[in-house]
Amino acid sequence: MMEAPEFDRSIGMELYATNSLGCGGRLRARSEDFVVEEIALDQSYEGGRFLIVEVEKTDWDTHHLVRDLSRQLKISQKRISWAGTKDKNAVTRQRMSISGLDEDELSRSSLPDVKIRALGRSNRAVALGDLRGNRFSIRIREIDLEEDEASRRLEAVTGEIRAQGGLPNYFGVQRFGEVRPVTHLVGEALVRGDPEMAAMTYLALPFPGEPETTRSARERLLADRDFGQALKEYPLRLRYERAMISRLMEGSDWATSFDVLAKNLKRLFVHAYQSLLFNRILSRRMRAGLPLDRAVEGDVVCFSKDGLPDPDKIQKVDASNLAAVNRLAERGRAFVTLPLFGYESEFADGVPGEMERSVLEEEGVEQSDFRVPANPDLGSPGYRRPALLRFDPVVVVEGGGSALLKFDLPAGSYATVVLREYMKSA
């Protein structure tokens, strides 16, 4: 296995799963080069208090979109729900539900680069469990290879992916923050019982990819803790940071200052730290040569529901059931899982369990720390996630230094995890 570049290693993605050379190139040269469309489980609408809409947006963060949309519709953000956040720098299509809104009231919305189409009404809000997966159509541009060589490399990666039955189900860079990867650092500080460090990391830790004015404002706040001055200097687009600063100026403590954030957003911090630890366990398993597509004694597996992994239905593997579990795994009906540590997590047994425990011990944190006693709304009970990302990619080399990749991924998996294997950019 090939070692990954430094940034990938910093978020736990220590290895590539394929050994073939990558094609390099550039992603997101244009927004339309990255298209994501939800695959919904249920698309029947038989009436009810929730208006179901399809939202097509270009270069919009989901949380910012919901905030602006609620303002234009003159309703609370809490009345809008969705199944999953989507890439910002992309063209995305996703379902949302809006409680108690008539279809003709959508005319009050006129956000740039946003199209909203009513699909019907339902008695159920759109929620996380409603999403079967996402369909991706992604173009890589500026591939500096002859067309034949690009084809050979891309076909070789595809061959390895199919031979392995997929790729390691890493959490991709979006989980941690693409321009400003601090989400997991905030989560780590919360888990370690330091909400002050968590808040200041979120508000004030600067990163090179940010605009100069933003970076300098963060640097000043980090140095002098002058929240009044920060509120004058922070750009209006930093809505969440400004809201937290205002709360702190009103006398809020560090931990509850996070309560001004949308519920989905404030939960991302501890989840991102869990994701970092998951990536590290997955890399450790790969280094040890343990399989991802079948179980070994001690593993915890989940089983399929509607053709997808269901982490709520799990079983430990021992000598008595190993053969039966792996027969199911061969048919895509059982899946090896790894933990996202939380206060209710259970460890695997045997060698897999030793790996899990060693990662947590090296971090110097305990499962109970994931309760975040200073603000339990930020904590997480933990859950398990499949170790292998199963999918079937289609790659077309278009000439002129570009290639088009098409594939479907289950909900919660990341297209960037696929793309890194094909590109292998430094």
Annotated catalytic, 87? yes
Q: Tens digits of per-residue pLDDT, 288-318?
A: 999 999 999 999 999 998 888 999 999 999 9
Asked whether the beta carbons of 38 and 155 are under 8 A apart, the reply is no
Strands (E), 208-365: 300-305, 308-316, 334-340
CA distances (Å), 412 to each of 35, 85, 298, in order? 16, 10, 25
**Residue from 8, 33, 87, 130 carrying the catalytic annotation:** 87
Q: Cβ(33)–Cβ(152) under 8 Å?
A: no
Model's pTM, two decimal places?
0.93
Q: 37 by DSSP, 3-state: which?
A: strand
Residues 81-97: tens digit of each pLDDT: 999 888 888 999 999 99
Instruction: Specify the pLDDT at position 262.
Output: 82
Q: Is the pLDDT of residue 332 over 90?
A: yes
Strand, helix or coil for residue 337? strand
pLDDT of residue 426 exceeding 70, the answer is no
Whole-angstrom Cα distance, residue 223 to residue 207? 15
The closest of 61, 31, 37 to 134, measured between CA atoms, is: 37
How many angstroms from the chain centroid is the CA of residue 361? 25
Strand partners, 382: none
SS3 117: strand
Task: Fill in the amino acid letter for 258.
Answer: F
- Mean pLDDT over residues 351-364, rounded? 97
